[in-house]
Structure 1
C-alpha cells in the first residue's frame, strides 16, 4: 500500500510539474504574475471575514499612526488607531464587488442593445448608435458626481451607476459581430428550422462572439476600479463606516507626510490590480482572437 501511495504521489507531482512548465511556456512571466495576483485578490475578497485580524471600525487610540512592522499592526494604523491591514482587506472585497457587478451589468446592457440593433435594424439601430455616441461623448466622471451629489451615495446606486460605464463598447461590438454572424450560413439555417430570434441570438450567435466580449470585459474592469476609486477619493463613493480602496486613499492623503502607509498600501493594490487585469486581458485577446493567430 505504501508503494502504491508513493507511486500516486510521484505521478501527481509529475503532472503538476508538467502543467506548470507547460503554462510557463505558453504564458509570459508578467501574465503569470497577473493571474497569481488576481487569484490572490479574489481569495482575499471571498475570505475577508476570516483574514481580517481586527474589525474595520475597531479603534486603538494608544496606537494612532503607528508605523508598519509591529506584530499587532503589520501595515500600521491610521489617524484613529484602526488597523490598516484589516481595512485594506475589506476594501479589496468592496472594490472588487463594485467593479465585478458594474462590469457584468455594463456587458449585459450593452450586448442586449447591440443585439437589438442587429435584429431590428432601421430606427432601432440608429437610436442605439445615437445613444452610444452620446455616451462616448459624455464626461462620465462629471455625470457620476452630479448623480451621487443629488441622490446620495449607496452601494446599489454606485454599482448601477458604474454599470452604465462603457456599455457603448459592448453595444458596438455585439452589433457588428451579430450582423456578421447573421450573414453567415449557420444563423440562417437555424431560422429556417423554426428557431425563434431569441434562441438564435442566445444559443448560436452569443457563444461565437463571447470570447471578444470577455476580452472587452477585462479591459473595462480596471477602468471601473479606477473610476470607483476616484469617486471615493472625492468623497462621493463608498461612505463610512464602510471602506474601499479609493476611500482609503482619500482619507490617507491628509497624512501623506506623517503617515504615508495609510495611502500607499491601497494605492499599490489599485495599481497592481489594474495592471494585472490589463496584462491578462491583453494575453487573452491574443489567445482568443483568431485573426492574431
Structure 2
C-alpha cells in the first residue's frame, strides 16, 4: 500500500456565497475603522471652519466627503460616528444576551412560579412597543451614553430568554446534565460549563440577528433627537442633523445613511448564513 493511500481525505471547506463574503468584508472594514478611529481621523470631528462650509464631496483632497453646515469634515465625523454607534450596538447586544440567557436559565432550573414569571415578563416585553418605552425613558431621565446603552440592552432580551429556557430544558432531558449533577456539580457549573457551550451557537446567531435591529433603533432615537447628543456624534445623529440640508447638501445625510444600510445588511446576511450553517434541521 502506498503512503498516499493512508492519508485522510481532505476536509471540504464550507462554500461561502459571494454576498456573505462581501458582508464579512464590510463588517471587518467597519470594525477596523471603529478600532482605529483615533489614528485615521483626518480632522478633529468637532473642528469648525466656516470658510469651507457645505463643500461638496470630491471637490478637495482635504475633505473627500465634503463638509457640513458648520464646515466640519464629514469623513471625520463619519469615522467617529461609526465607533460610537458600534459601541452602543455591541454593548446593548451583550447586555441583552446576558440578561435574557440568565433569566432563561433561571426559568429552566426553578420551573414553577419562577418560570411563569419570566415567561409573563417576556410576553409583556414582546407586546410593548420598545420605541415608545425608549422615548419615554429618555425624555424623563435625560440623555447620557451609559443610559442609552443600558436602555438598548433591554431590547430583545425576551428572545434570548425563550431560546435559553427551551434549550436548557432540552439539554436536561437528554440526561447528561442530570448525570453531572449526580456527580456533585453545582447548578452554576452545570449551566455555565456544560449547557451554555452546547447552546452557544444558537445564541450567537440570535445576537447577529438582533445586532442590526439595535443599530437601527439607536439611529431612529438619535434621528428624533433623543439618542446621542452633541458634541458627541453617531450615525443616526448625523442623519438627523443632515435632513435639514437634504436639498442643498444631501451628502451630509446620505453618507451616514449609506453606512447604516450597508452595516445592517451585512450583519443580517452573515447572521442568516450562520443560522443555516449551524442549524442541524436545515439541510
TM-score range, shorter chain: over 0.9
Query: In 2, distance between residues paired with 1:210 and 1:25?
Result: 20
Match of 1:3 in 2: none
Match of 1:238 in 2: 228
Say whether 1:62 aligns with 2:51: yes
Query: In 2, distance between residues paired with 1:142 and 1:183?
Result: 40
Runs of 4+ in 1 over 6 A off after TM superposition: 22-25
Cα drift, residue 25 of structure 1: 6.3
Query: In 1, distance between residues paired with 2:53 and 2:14?
Result: 48
Task: Point out where structure 1 has 5 or more consecutive residues left out of the alignment.
Answer: 1-21
Query: In 1, distance between residues paired with 2:233 and 2:151?
Result: 18
Say whether 1:26 aligns with 2:12: no
- For residue 39 of structure 1, the aligned residue among 24, 28, 37 is 28
Say whether 1:150 aligns with 2:133: no
Q: What is the TM-score normalised by the length of structure 2? A: 0.95
- For residue 204 of structure 1, the aligned residue among 194, 209, 214 is 194
Deviations 1:188-224 (A, max 9, x none): 1101101011110000000000000000000000000
Q: How does 1:32-181 map to 2 (within 5 A)?
A: 32-69=21-58, 70-181=60-171
Task: State the Cα RMSD in Å.
Answer: 1.2
Cα drift, residue 185 of structure 1: 1.7
Task: Point out where structure 2 has 5 or more consecutive residues left out of the alignment.
Answer: 1-10
Q: What is the TM-score normalised by the length of structure 1? A: 0.91
1:198–1:34 distance in 2 versus 1, CA, 3 Å: same
Query: In 1, distance between residues paired with 2:254 and 2:179?
Result: 58
Cα drift, residue 286 of structure 1: 1.0
Say whether 1:247 aligns with 2:237: yes
Match of 1:6 in 2: none
